[in-house]
Each structure stands twice: as C-alpha cells, then as structure tokens.
Amino acid sequence: MRNAPTILHLDMDAFYAQAEQASKPSLRGKAVIVGGLGPRGVVATASYEARAFGVHSAMPTAQARRLAPNAAYLVPRFAFYRRISDQVMGLLRAVSPLVEPLSLDEAFVDLEAGGAAWDGESARLAGIRLRADIRAVTGLTGSVGLAASKMLAKIASEQAKPDGLVLIEPGTERALLGPMPVRTLPGVGPATGDHLRRAGITTVDELAEAGEDELVRLVGKAHGQGLYAMALARDDRPVVAEREAKSVSVEDTYDVDIHDRLRVELEVKRLAERCVRRLRGSGLSGRTIVLKVRRYDFSTLTRSETLRGPTDDPAVVREAAGRLLDSVDTTGGVRLLGVGVSGLADFTQEDLFAQAAGEEPGDGAEEEDPGETAVPQAVPAEHRWSPGCDVVHAELGPGWVQGSGLGRVTVRFETPESEPGRVRTFRMDDPALAAAEPLPLVRPRPAEDAGTHRDGDLGDGEGIRTAG
C-alpha cells in the first residue's frame, strides 16, 4: 500500500435519478425512481428523496411502488447517461492518465500518476477541484473517497455520500475498518455475510481475529485469503487505465411469458440489432454470438456459435442468433431473452477485405447509426411512450412522457433550462407528436459554478470529512 492517500474513487450520486432531475425541472427535489416498470421490473437507481421512503436499487419495482406510490417512475435513458458519463470521465482523464472506469458513474483515479497529488493535502485539494469541475460542467454532484488503496478509497466514497469527500489518513485504516460490518468489504455479499454470521463473525475486527486458516476453512482458499488481507487493510491493486471488455450483450425480461414462437423470433432479431448498435458504439466487433433463454420454469439455456472472423454486421449477428434459437425448445413460455457477442476485437474481417480491395469499409451497404442512441424513428413502438422518454410536438416543442395507456399519452413540456412545464394529453397516434433525442443538460452560469479551482471551496453540498 502507498504512504499517501493518492488513490481517488468517484461515485456519482444516484446518477440516473440525478440526471433525470437535472433534465426535468418538475422533478427536482422530488422522489424519482429509474428502472424497469413492469411487474418483474427492478429499481436501477432511486433519488435520495425516494430513498427516504426505503426504496433502494435492485428492489422490485412493485415493492417500490408500495413504499413510494407518489414517486416519478421512469424508464432508463442509457444513451443520455452515457453522454454525461463521457463528460465526467473526460474530466478525470484531465487529472491523470490512469483512470479505471467501473461503470458509467464510478471510477478510480491514480492521482500520483498525473502529478496531481503526492500527499494528503494535495490529494484533498485535487478531490475538491474535481468535484467542483464535475458540478460546473454537468450540473451533477459526485462523492469522492481518497485513500492509499482502491478498497479503502471505495469505502471512503461510500461514507462521503451524498455530495461529499472523505479522506482516510494512512495508518488509520485498521482502526477505521475494525468496527465495520463484514458486508462493508468488497466481495462480501448476502450469502458470504450470512455464512460468516453463523460462524460468529460480524465485524471486520472479528474477521482479522479469526485468522487466515479459519477463514479458508469457512469460505475456501481464494476467498478466505482475500478476506483476511482485506481485514488487515492490505490492498496493493494498481489503478488500471484500460479494462478490456470481454463481451457486449443486451437482454430483456418480459412482464408476461412469451408463448408465441414467432414473437420469440422477432424479439431475438430486435435484441441482435440492439447488441450490434452497442458493439459499434464501442468501436468493437466479435467472433462468438451467444443466445440466452430463460424459460417459464426459470431454467436458463445458453447457446453460442463462433464465426470465422470478427463482425459487427447486424445481418450476420441476426442470422447467427436465429440459428441458435432453432436449437432451443421454447414450449411452455419464455421470460427472458438475451443476445451477446464475445471474442471481441477492434476490427472486422469485412474491414480487412475492403482495405485489400482498395475500398472504404462499408461501401455498398446501408450504414447504420454507430452509436447507442437510436434515431427517433428507430424507437420501438411499444417503448416510444414509456414514462420518461423524450418527445417533441410540432407546435408545443420538446417534452417528456409522464404516462400512457388506453390509447392516450400524457406529456409534460419542459426543457432542462425552463421552469416546470405544463401537461397535455394526446392520442398515441397524434401525427404532431414524435419520439425525440434527449436534450443536453445546460451548463450552469459562471456565477453558479461551485468554486471551480478555488482551494477549499466546495460550493453547495459542503462535505469534507477526514476519517481517522
């Protein structure tokens, strides 16, 4: 481990929900829940206003509705979140060349590598500046943890939430970790936690006291050794700038089991096309096509086919997924379908053939949108009027769907920089209403920038704390 707290962990606060609140003035300060909205849907993110009712991520949406019936329930807009994430990751890379993204809203940063920090005070100031810059550019807040290791930096950022900064001083790690529950440690989920509890181990101190041999006996060699090292605050993992993706995949869980074989085939084709859009958006191609089918009895089947070379051709992926489906019995119903591509590469076999012939890749073929954001006409009809989706009216301008049903759709007309807007209801087939691209968040005015680059100024959400 290092001698200075120069590893930073950033975690954006309730990212999806916060992005929706910033995008929709009428939802600011209100309970917002983002996730699947059907009977089998789960919560992806809940705003802090919703968490006050006991709602949390991974909770079934039906349970969340019982706890917070008056909250706004919205479908995720991943292309919109990715655009904000790209801005945030760009700010991190301006601080250091060693940035390890963990998800759209979370990353480690090695402050030493970029010369941004070399001791506790310089690390603290770097964290302050970073939080202010993120707020100035995106209007959103993030929490920062600073420590001498990745494990402790992540624990610190969790303590900092929401909208704060916590620095763990080197030498205080054991005392800080000791009284914490074992579930605080990475990799200790409900099953491992229950197993340790039955053995009388509930805190990190008790893990350390149990000893490595006892932990290996309880949970196996690799996990036991890892738990013992974490209990002693040992973590020498470096920040890795590039985390190579192993696969790209998409899947859908259906509110009602699908029994119609033709419908299953159409869903597989649709998933294949979504998968290719995501693949192309990452600048990748792949050789192995994977189909995932979860049947009515919860049994899950996977089938795969490896091609002669990597591809990002939607027709090739569709056909391969269709062939894989031919080998699966869907009698009785299907509750989940997924299509993925693995064996990834940053080129395609078709590219190589085109270059050898002196042509530009893609000549002679209709080019598809390479990003994850579908053009409005490409939005499936069944999702076009989902709560939270962007729309535009020929006369009233941009807005978002508040709800739909019985052939009607209710729209609130507002933009990120407007006052809370008015609500109107239309027929779903109203020709003046169409799906639209998300509007970008508007950067705050200079006077509202949260003290960018001014040492010690956190702006709104004061929250510097030092652990230990």
């899947």: which residue's tokens?
A: 251
Residue 33, both tokens: 């829940």
106 is catalytic: yes
- What is the torsion angle, in degrees rounded to the nearest 10, for the CA atoms of residue 203, residue 204, residue 210 and residue 213? 130
Please enumerate in sequence order all residues whose Cβ is within 8 A of that of 417, keeping only pairs 6 or more positions apart, or say none.
442
**54 torsion bin: left (phi>0), alpha (psi -120 to 50), beta (else):** left
Catalytic residue among 106, 112, 273, 414: 106
| Count of alpha carbons within 13 angstroms of residue 463, beta-carbon side | 21
3-state secondary structure labels for all residues of the chain: CCCCCCEEEEEECCHHHHHHHHHCHHHCCCCEEEECCCCCCEEEEECHHHHCCCCCCCCEHHHHHHHCCCCEEECCCHHHHHHHHHHHHHHHHHHCCCEEEEECCEEEEECCCCCCCCCHHHHHHHHHHHHHHHHHHHCCCEEEEEECCHHHHHHHHHHHCCCCEEEECCCCHHHHHCCCEHHHCCCCCHHHHHHHHHCCCCEHHHHHHHCHHHHHHHHCHHHHHHHHHHHCCCCCCCCCCCCCCCEEEEEEEEEEEECCHHHHHHHHHHHHHHHHHHHHHCCCEEEEEEEEEEECCCCEEEEEEEEEEEECCHHHHHHHHHHHHHCCCCCCCEEEEEEEEEEEECCCHHHHHHHHCCCCCCCCCCCCCCCCCCCHHHCCHHHHCCCCCEEEECCCEEEEEEEEECCEEEEEECCCCCCCCEEEEEECCCCCEEECCCCCCCCCCHHHCCCCCCCCCCCCCCCEEEEC
* Peptide bond preceding 25 in cis form (omega within 30 of 0): no
Residue 27, judged by CB atoms within 10 A of its CB (0-12, 13-18, 19+), counts as buried
């914490």: which residue's tokens?
A: 180
Q: Does residue 436 contact residue 379 with C-beta atoms inside 8 Å? A: no
**Would you name the residues annotated as active-site residues?**
106
